[in-house]
Amino acid sequence: MQKIRILAALTATVVWVSLAVQLVLLARMFGPAEGTWRFLGFFTSLSNFGIAAIATTVAIGGVTGMIGPRARFMALTAILAVGLVYSVLLRSLWNPTGLQRLAGIGLHDAAPVLFATLWAMMPHGELRWRDLRWALAPPALYLAYACLRGSIDGWYPYTFLDPRLQGPDGVLAGIAAVLAIFAIAGAAVIAVDARLPNRRQPRSSPLAIDHCEAR
């Protein structure tokens, strides 16, 4: 229990600091308003907000649905997809330095590793294959949000969402590819969850999980 809370505190600290650094850098580059608007347009920022909130809740011993099996499942799938896509497709395209490099390592490398380790140490055995749909909820909502933003102000956080560059068919193909990545990541998480030791906590514990939640 104590080890879990210590790791959660470390995870929360690394992610919150990385998010703060990234926000400051964007604010310096584009101004406070535009920088914040762009910061909130990236899935990396939003998914890291999610894991930071969960890790913080675990660290302080909060009892809430935020640390339930589905919430942790969605957050883990999202951050693993972030790390995978960045490593495979984006890492070779730029070479950040200084604080930008620090923020990038925190959000794309440290966050997935730390949160995956935290998830592995927490209770398991609640997820079912039908819960895979929950892994697709965050990217589906985000893609709709990002496309709506882009249609309003003309800025798309990722080029595969920009119909001016990709055309409608290209955008649909990009969206399908993203959802496929999340489906694969989610399926992998469910498979691993089923094989990890079942460590359900007593209901009096801050990490207690409602058995009915995953049903």
The tens digit of pLDDT for each residue in 167-188 reads 999 999 999 999 999 999 999 9
Interior CA angle at 135 toward 129 and 189, to 5°? 60
Evaluate if residue 204 carries a pLDDT over 60: no
Evaluate if residue 132 carries a pLDDT over 90: yes
Give the global pTM. Answer: 0.86
Q: What is the pLDDT of residue 209?
A: 39
Q: What is the pLDDT of residue 63?
A: 63
Express as a percent the part of the chain with pLDDT over 70.
89
Dihedral sign from CA coordinates of 113, 7, 78, 161: negative
Alpha-helical runs (H) found in the chain: 2-30, 32-39, 43-59, 69-85, 98-104, 111-121, 132-153, 163-195
